[in-house]
A = this chain, B = another copy of it.
C-alpha cells in the first residue's frame, strides 16, 4: 500500500515530539498501520530550535532548515495543501487566530485529514473545522487536545459506544493541579506554589489561562460535545480558577477529609446538561482526590458500565505527541469516519447554579458567642441541611469556620449568604466550594 504522507505545520513542543516518535519507532508504526508512515514536509519558522531539541534533520524542513518569514511559510503551506501526495496535516501551531483557523479549515477543504492538539481553537471555533471535514469526508483527530496522553477522546468515541454517559468530571488542567498539590502538601500560599510551578516548567510566564480555569473550560467544552452531542461556548460555561484559594481553605478541606481540585463537571439529567468548572473539595474516598502533581484524570459515570476513571499525563512533549501519533495511525488504518460518529444531542445546557451539590462555605466573622447559631439558622431557613461545622478558629478579633452542607442548589446557598450578610457580622464575603464525593 502507498505510504501515508504527513505534513507537520509547527514544530515546537508537540510537533517536535511527533517528529521524534515517528523517526524513532517508524518501523513499528508502519507495521501497526499496515502502511508506511512518513513525515513528508515540516513547516516551522525557526527550525534550528527544533533540529537541536528533537534531532530532526534539516532536510525535513521546508526551506532546508533556514528560518522562514511568515510569507514564506504561507507559501509552503499552500504547496502542501495542493500536494496530492499529502494525506494528513498535523497542526501544532496553537492559538485561536484566523490564520490557524483558516489553515485547519483549508486543510480539510483540500481533502487532507487533520490532526491537532489545539483545544482552544476547537473549543472556541471548532464548528467551521468539523463542518469542512464533513463536507470533504476527512477526519479530524484531536485526542491530544484533551488531557495530553490520556486516551479519553477515543474511549468515548470507540469504547463507550455500547453505553450512555451520564456524567463526566475530572482534573483537566495539570498546572493548577500541581499548584493545588503543592499548597496542600507543603502548606504553601498560592503565590509561592505558582512560583514553584513556573520554576518546574509546569506554568507559563503568563499563567492566566491555566489558573483561571480557561484551559480546563476548553477541554470540558470538547468533552461535553463528545459525551452529550451539544456545542457550548466559553460564554455559556461558567468557569472559575484557583487564585482565591487560601491556606485556610486548604485546612478546611483537610478537616473534612478532602483535597482541593480544579474540577470540570458535567451531568445529564432529564434533558439538561448541568456543567461548570470550579475548585471543589474532593473527598478522599473519591480517587480523584489522590491524583496529585501535574497529572490529569477523567471520571465518567455511565448508564450500563458504571464508574470509569482514566489517569495519566496531561501535558508534555512526547506524552502529547504520542496521542497525535495514535490519531495518525488510526486514520491511516481506517481512513475516515472518525467524526461521522460525533453525536448530536438536543439537551439544553445549564450552569451549576440550579444543580444540587453538597457545599462547603467558609466564613470569617466577628468573634463573639452566637455567630455560629446565627449563621446556621439562616442556612436552615433556606431548607439546607447542615452536615458538619468545622472547629472554630478564634484568631484575635475574628472567628474562622467552615460549614459542610448536604446537597442543595447554589441559589439556596446564595440566598442564605445574603441574609447572613445583612446581619453585619461578616468580616469578608464567604467563599463557597462544591464538595465532590
- A residues near B (Cβ < 8 Å) are 17, 21, 25, 28-29, 32-34, 143, 148-151, 154-155, 158-164, 287, 290-291, 302, 304-313, 316, 318-319, 321-330, 333-334, 337, 340-341, 343
Contact = CB atoms under 8 A, between A and B. Distances in A.
Contacts of A305: 148-149, 312-313, 318-319, 322-323
A162 B21 contact: yes
A158 B158 contact: yes
Contacts of A316: 306
A27 to B, nearest CB: 12
A158 B333 CA distance: 10
B304 A319 contact: yes
B329 A304 contact: no
A201 to B, nearest CB: 15
B287 A158 contact: no
Q: Kindly name the residue among A150, A163, A330 whose own CB sees the greatest number of chain B CB atoms within 10 A.
A: A163
A3 B248 CA distance: 61
Contact of A154 (B154, B309, B328): B154
B340 A322 contact: no
A29 B161 contact: yes
Contact of A306 (B163, B164, B312): B312
A329 B312 CA distance: 27
Given A29-B162, A334-B337, A312 B304 contact: no
A415 B173 CA distance: 49
16 contacts: A25-B164, A34-B341, A143-B159, A149-B308, A150-B308, A151-B308, A158-B326, A159-B323, A161-B325, A162-B321, A162-B329, A302-B322, A304-B319, A304-B322, A305-B312, A309-B310
A313 B307 contact: yes
A116 B149 CA distance: 29
B334 A306 contact: no
Q: Kindly name the residue among A305, A318, A324, A337 whose own CB sees the greatest number of chain B CB atoms within 10 A.
A: A305
Given A160-B326, A322-B163, A308 B307 contact: no
Contacts of A148: 305
B307 A309 contact: no
A309 B306 contact: no
A164 B29 CA distance: 10
A185 to B, nearest CB: 12
Contact of A32 (B151, B302, B341): B341
Given A161-B330, A309-B311, 9 more contacts: A25-B164, A32-B343, A143-B159, A162-B323, A162-B326, A305-B318, A306-B319, A307-B311, A309-B309
A356 to B, nearest CB: 25
A163 B318 CA distance: 9
Contact of A287 (B291, B324, B326, B329): B291
Contacts of A306: 149, 312-313, 316, 319
Contacts of A328: 162
B308 A158 contact: no
Contacts of A322: 160, 162-163, 302, 304-305
Nearest to A300: B312
Nearest to A163: B322
Nearest to A286: B290
A284 to B, nearest CB: 9
A319 to B, nearest CB: 5
